[in-house]
Amino acid sequence: MFETWFSQADAILLARFQFAFTIAFHIIFPAFTIGLASYLAVLEGLFLKTRNPVYQKLYRYWLKIFAVAFGMGVVSGIVMSYQFGTNWSVFSDKAGPVIGPLMGYEVLTAFFLEAGFLGVMLFGMNKVGERLHYFATLMVAVGTAISAFWILSVNSWMQTPAGFAMNEQGQYVVTSWMEAIFNPSFPYRLAHMLLAAYLTTAFVVGAVGAWHLLKDKSSQAARKMFSMAMWMALIVAPLQVFVGDLHGLNTQEHQPAKVAAMEGHFKSEAQAPLYLFGWPNEEEAKVDYAIKIPGLASFILKHDVNATVTGLDAFPRDEWPPVPIVFWSFRIMVGIGLLMVFIGLWSGYLRLRKQLYDRPLLHRAAVLMGPLGFVAVIAGWVVTEVGRQPWVIHGLLRTSDAASPIDAVGVGSSLVAFIVVYFLVFGAGTVYMLRKMAGNPESTHIPNYARVPMAAERLYHEEG
């Protein structure tokens, strides 16, 4: 009965929207916890080395925020591991033999490691002592990075599949695991995402530090975290521009249609212009209201002003990704990246002049930059995922052929349920994290780490 109201096309569109929604929400938490876990490992290491209590304070301060973010990452991640099957069963059946084992390795090498040692990290200090506790922190940090390794390998295989053949059931079968795991786009995507996670976290830490500096510029804890974050901005943001460029060149080689959409290049041409802004008009195959710099795209993509850059005209119309979404998401990502570089340079200049803690304008800017890393991460994922369309596995399996035999009503109602629950639950979680971040780091409670009898030592979030 319902089938007559909605077509299969609606079901696929809703399933795509559901995946986009749940994964965009999910990626926010890992992007933050990958960075924060490493930051916590650095803080605890520095404390053990220097015994400077400010590091201990910062560790306890960020640990509580980490706990909330990690919990939300876990539960939104469980959804992802079942989402492949509920809405994309054809994809699961065909690609399962390739991506399944990689995700299996993610669970075995990363998820258990993180979850296993998280308990010790959060609640175990006075049970295991400093050294083992530091070990637990390191294991959690390593776990988050290993997790990124596997899941980015999976995603990269979907972008640039390698090392496979097809069996008689129509499934993809791996012929070389090395080639499949280290497929052509994987190293670039992994480096780009890890740096993005570190940068995103650095800008959150920087924003919180700046916020507290604006209230009290003598705060040692606020100074320390702001200073550490600005070092990251100065060093990692330019590095990210470099890695991002390499990633773009790699995409140009393997997925030229995606790059053409990113750049708004409808026709293949020599001395291709770089469109700064404009509105890609797919019907007329041109960029409206364009502000462009002639030849610059050829220079960036081919390192030669006169080189010919492949445009969308080189591909059949039904193999184009949705151009405006890719074009604009790319500009949002790059724009935020350049802002980060600017903040890094500005802070470096003020640090040289010994004014890092004395310029409220920089601090205000840093506060505003706080959430932008997440925006850039999501925009970047939109570029690469929407840019891969109409394929779910590039060049092999179309998204429209990959979905489950579920009708639109089913997918639509679960989508509504996810939207309501996510906004409610993760909205509350965000409020709690912001509340923690608003708390003064100087007054972070340091529990008594002496070994005490069981009764007094259940330190579950000691300040309640």
Partner 1 sequence: MDYALIWAILIAVSVFAYVALDGFDLGMGILFPWIKEETYRDRMVNSVAPVWDGNETWLVLGGGGLLAVFPLAYSVLMPALYMPVIAMLLGLIFRGVAFEFRFKSKANKHWWDRAFMLGSMVAAFSQGVMLGAMLQGIEVTDRAYSGGWFDWLSPFTIFAGLSVCVGYALLGASWLVMKTDGPLQQRAYEYGRNSGILLIMAIAAASVYLVSSFENVAERWLTWPGSAALWLVPFVLAIVGGGLLTSLTKQQEGRPYLWALGVFLIAFVGFGASIFPYLIPFEISIWEAAAPDNSLAFLLVGAVILLPIIFAYTGYTYWVFRGKVSEDSGYHE
| Nearby residues of 215 by Cβ (< 8 Å), 6 or more positions away | 440
Q: Does residue 107 interact with partner 1 by CB under 8 A?
A: yes
Q: How many CB atoms lie within 10 A of CB 274?
A: 18
Q: Whole-number minimum distance, CB 75 to partner 1, in Å?
A: 4
30 binds partner 1 (CB under 8 A): no
Nearer to partner 1 (CB atom), residue 319 or residue 457: 457
Read out DSSP for 30-94?
A: HHHHHHHHHHHHHHHHHHHHH--HHHHHHHHHHHHHHHHHHHHHHHHHHHHHHHHHHH-HHHHHH
Binding of residue 361 to partner 1 (CB under 8 A): no
Considering only 5, 112, 277, 423, the residue that binds partner 1 (CB under 8 A) is 112
Q: Does 128 bind partner 1 (CB under 8 A)?
A: yes
Q: Which region among 122-130, 207-215, 284-292, 326-334 touches partner 1 (by CB under 8 A)?
A: 122-130
Rule CB under 8 A: which of 144-203 touch partner 1? Answer: 167, 169, 171, 173-174, 177
Residue 7 found at the interface with partner 1 (CB under 8 A) = no
Residue 40 touching partner 1 (CB under 8 A): no
Q: Where does this chain touch partner 1 (CB under 8 A) — which range of 120-128, 198-206, 231-239, 291-299?
A: 120-128
Determine, following the binding rule CB under 8 A, whether residue 137 of this chain makes contact with partner 1: no
Residue 115 contacts partner 1 per CB under 8 A: yes
Counts of helices then strands in the chain (DSSP H, E):
14, 8
Residues 5, 9, 50, 119: which binds partner 1 (CB under 8 A)?
Answer: 119
Q: Which is nearer to partner 1, 155 or 298 (CB)?
A: 155
Question: Distance of CA 70 to CAs 14, 27, 119, 287, 378, Å?
Answer: 28, 12, 12, 42, 18
Residues of this chain, 417-436, that bind partner 1 according to CB under 8 A: 417-418, 421, 425, 428-429, 432, 435
Establish if 309 lies at the interface with partner 1 (CB under 8 A). Answer: no
Q: DSSP string spanning 394-449?
A: TTTEEGGGS--S--HHHHHHHHHHHHHHHHHHHHHHHHHHHHHHHS-GGG------
Does 1 help bind partner 1 (rule: CB under 8 A)? no
**Contacts for 443 with CB less than 8 Å, ≥ 6 apart:** none
| Segment holding 164, helix H or strand E | strand 164-166
Q: Are 235 and 202 in contact (CB under 8 A)?
A: no
Q: What are the backbone dihedrals phi and psi of residue 278, each rounded to the nearest 5 degrees, phi first?
A: 150, 180
Residues 48-87 close enough to bind partner 1 by CB under 8 A: 67-68, 70-72, 74-79, 81-82, 84-86
Q: How far apart are CA 308 and CA 265, in angstroms?
A: 11
Q: Which is nearer to partner 1, 79 or 296 (CB)?
A: 79
Considering only residues 381-420, where is the footprint of partner 1 by CB under 8 A? Answer: 404-407, 410, 414, 417-418
